């Protein structure tokens, strides 16, 4: 199903959690099977040591691991960082995810193992509201998410249960069409993606995730 994969991490002032994320990425690269992988970090104008840490991580890796970092001089927002990375991505599928690893990279392995991916569909969203999802989050975030989902459904007529989970998988040809059309550089870019896909009549498949709340993410 997946022969090659670009994994995109937007990064903004993440120096406190990057070492943990690097260990997770190294574990995934060692254990993954059957597909080529490239890792793309996008430093979104960080004011801490994130960019330097990523550069040092890349230098320390085996050259066979295709890892690179893109640098934005000013903070543009998550949407802007993802647009840049999708433009530069080269492999056949694109996974956008959060560097805090609230959803493990091994979630994709689980999807493949359980044969959740189908050749007929080109977009898959991790959904924290899926009946098979395992979600650990704080009370305030849970209430906020419920209100947001209600408003999105009511105002925008979007039937997707969870538009904001950062773990999303796209066929490259679809991502290359959709992301350049996104006007918002902020977190509301997710809604634009859903609306663009709806306009193009491209179906979104929501899949279960194991999701853990990370403080300061």
CB neighbours of 69 closer than 8 A, spacing ≥ 6? Answer: 40, 41, 42, 43, 51, 54, 55, 58
Q: Considering only CA atoms, which of 174, 172, 209, 214 is closest in space to residue 193?
A: 174
The pLDDT tens digits of the residues spanning 87-96 come to: 999 999 999 9
When pLDDT is cut at 50, 70 and 90, the band that residue 160 belongs to is confident
When pLDDT is cut at 50, 70 and 90, the band that residue 138 belongs to is low
Contact 99, 11 (CB under 8 A): yes
What's the per-residue H, E or C state across the chain? CCCEEEEEEEECCCCCCHHHHHHHHHHHHHHCCCCEEEEEEEEECCCCCHHHHHHHHHHCCCCCCEEEEEEECCCCCHHHHHHHHHHHCCCCEEEECCCCCCECCHHHHHHHHCCCCCCCCCEEEEECCCCCCEEECCHHHHHHHHHHHHHHHHHHCCCCCCCCCCCEEEEHHHHHHHHHHCCCCCCCHHHHHHHHHHHCCCCCEEEECEEECCCCC
Instruction: Provide the whole-model pTM.
Output: 0.90
**What integer best gives the mean pLDDT of the chain?**
90
């Amino acid at each position: 199903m997946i022969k090659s994969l670009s994994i995109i991490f937007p990064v903004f002032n993440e120096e406190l959690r990057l070492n943990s994320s690097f260990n997770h990425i190294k574990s995934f690269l060692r254990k993954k099977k059957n597909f080529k992988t490239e890792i793309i970090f996008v430093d979104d104008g960080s004011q801490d040591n994130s960019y330097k840490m990523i550069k040092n991580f890349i230098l320390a890796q085996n050259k066979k691991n295709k890892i690179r970092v893109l640098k934005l001089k000013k903070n543009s927002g998550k949407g802007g960082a993802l647009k840049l990375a999708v433009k530069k991505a080269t492999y056949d599928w694109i996974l956008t995810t959060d560097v805090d690893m609230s959803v493990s990279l091994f979630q994709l392995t689980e999807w493949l193992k359980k044969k959740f991916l189908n050749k007929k569909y080109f977009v898959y969203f991790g959904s924290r509201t899926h009946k098979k999802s395992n979600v650990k989050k704080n009370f305030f975030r849970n209430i906020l998410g419920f209100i947001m989902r209600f408003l999105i459904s009511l105002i925008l007529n979007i039937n997707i249960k969870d538009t904001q989970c950062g773990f999303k998988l796209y066929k490259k040809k679809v991502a290359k069409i959709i992301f350049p059309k996104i006007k918002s550089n902020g977190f509301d870019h997710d809604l634009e993606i859903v609306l663009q896909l709806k306009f193009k009549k491209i179906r979104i498949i929501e899949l279960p995730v194991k999701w853990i709340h990370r403080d300061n993410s």
